């Protein structure tokens, strides 16, 4: 009796471990998995960053207003603020149908998340921009993407730490952190700076 239970138990555990491992590594959205390959971009409504930033010359902060307010969140623009232009511009474009429908039906657009952090990691957009980091450092070549925006960097803790442990070596800063208060760089290594 004892034995049969035990072997059953072991078998199920092994099996489930195997399945779990498979699921874990096959999930592109998983927070500790590899960067998204080009064929793994989430499907959903898309936005042409290249057109808006390169051709029209809009600054990232024009739409992602949270950054300017020293806020944790960069934020997405409201549908109404998109319509601020698109009520006049591109009225005939089919690609803007989702936006127009959203505005008319008063149903928010559901964007898919491609850069997602786990719940136990808190990233502060405002602070990173304040330190002189460029959006591209983490988000990649956003200004040259025309449709789906994938994940450019792995967003794994190891990758975060490359910079947090030695900010000078890895990233081009517009501010010299050495001149800044020493505690700032000390604080960067504290677990609870991000995990709280």
Partner 1 sequence: MSSLEDKKTMKSHQLQRTDLAGENPHGHLHRREFMKAAGLLAGFGQLLGCTKEPRELIPYLNEVEKGTQFQNQYYATFVEISGQAQPLIVKSLQGRPLKVEGNPRFESSAGSTSLFAQAELYNLYNPKRLQFPLNKGKKAVLSEVNEQLIQYAKGWQKNGGNQTVITLPPLSSPGTLKRLAKLKEKFPKLDFVTLNPLARSVQVEKKLIRPRYNLKNAETLITLDDDMFLATSDAHYNARQFMQRRKGAITKHDDSRMNRLFCYEPQLSQTGVKADKRVALSPSQIKKVILKIGELAGLKETPIETDETIQVEANKIYQILKNSAPNALLTLGEHYPDQWKKRVWAINQKLGAEKATFSLEEVNYFPDQISLKTFKKNLLNEKYKTLIDLGGNPLYFFSQKNFQEAFQNIEKTLAFALFPQETTKISQVVCPLKHDFETWKLGRESLGQVTFSQPLTQAFFPSFSHDEVLATLLEGKPQKDRDLFQKDIQTLYQINDSKKVLQTGKQKDERPKTFTDQINVSWETEAFENKLELVSYPDPSVLFGEYSHNPWAQEIPKPVSKITWMNAFFLSPELAKGHNLKTGDFIEVQTDDGSAQGPVSLMKGMAQNTITTTWGYGRQIQDPDMDGKGVNAREALGDKSLSGAKITKLQKTPYQFATTQKEFELEEQTVLERLSYEELKERTPSPQKSEPYTSEEFQSSPQWGMTIDLTTCIGCNACTLSCQQENNIPFVGEKEVAKGREMHWIRVDTYRVPVTDNETLHFQPVTCVHCEEAPCETVCPVNATVHSEEGTNQMVYNRCIGTRYCSNNCPYKVRSFNFYAYKNNFEKPLEFILNPDVTVRARGVMEKCTYCVQRLNAYQRNEPDATPDGKLQTACQSACPTQAIQFGDLTEASNPVQVEHQSERYYDLLAELGTKPRTGYLADVKKTEKMLHKSKGERH
Interacting residue ranges for partner 1, rule: CB under 8 A: 5-6, 9, 12-13, 15-17, 19-20, 23-24, 27, 29-31, 42, 44, 65-66, 69-73, 75-81, 102-103, 106-113, 116, 118-122, 124, 126-127, 182-183, 186-187, 190-193, 195-196
Q: How far apart are the first and last CA of the chain?
A: 47
Residue with smaller CB distance to partner 1, 66 or 90 = 66
Burial category of 45 from C-beta neighbours within 10 Å (exposed 0-12, middle 13-18, buried 19 and up):
middle
At its nearest, how many Å lie between partner 1 and the CB of residue 85? 13
On whether the CB atoms of residues 127 and 180 are closer than 8 A, the answer is: no
Residue with smaller CB distance to partner 1, 80 or 92 = 80
Residue with smaller CB distance to partner 1, 92 or 121 = 121
DSSP letter at 54 equals I
Residue with smaller CB distance to partner 1, 91 or 196 = 196
At its nearest, how many Å lie between partner 1 and the CB of residue 172? 22
Question: Dihedral of CA 153/158/160/165: which sign?
Answer: negative
At its nearest, how many Å lie between partner 1 and the CB of residue 121? 8
At its nearest, how many Å lie between partner 1 and the CB of residue 171? 19
Question: Dihedral of CA 76/63/70/183: which sign?
Answer: positive
Cα 109 from Cα 102, distance rounded (Å): 6
At its nearest, how many Å lie between partner 1 and the CB of residue 151? 13
Query: Can you tell me whether residue 59 is helix, strand or coil?
Result: coil
| 51 Cα distance to chain centroid | 20
């Amino acid at each position: 009796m004892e034995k049969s239970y035990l072997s059953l138990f072991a078998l199920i555990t092994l099996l489930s471990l195997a399945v779990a491992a498979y699921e874990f590594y096959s999930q592109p959205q998983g927070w500790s998995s590899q960067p998204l390959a080009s064929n793994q971009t989430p499907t959903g409504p898309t936005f042409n960053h290249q057109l808006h930033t390169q051709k029209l010359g809009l600054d990232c902060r024009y739409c992602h207003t949270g950054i300017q307010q020293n806020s944790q969140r960069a934020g997405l623009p409201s549908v109404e603020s998109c319509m601020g232009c698109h009520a006049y511009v591109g009225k005939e474009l089919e690609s803007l149908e989702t936006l127009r429908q959203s505005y008319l039906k008063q149903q928010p657009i559901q964007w898919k998340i491609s850069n997602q952090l786990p719940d136990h990691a808190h990233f502060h957009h405002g602070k990173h921009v304040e330190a002189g980091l460029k959006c591209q450092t983490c988000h990649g070549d956003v200004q040259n993407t025309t449709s789906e925006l994938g994940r450019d960097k792995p967003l794994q803790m190891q990758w975060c730490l490359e910079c947090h442990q030695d900010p000078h070596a890895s990233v081009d800063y517009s501010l010299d952190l050495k001149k800044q208060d020493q505690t700032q760089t000390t604080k960067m290594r504290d677990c609870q700076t991000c995990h709280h």
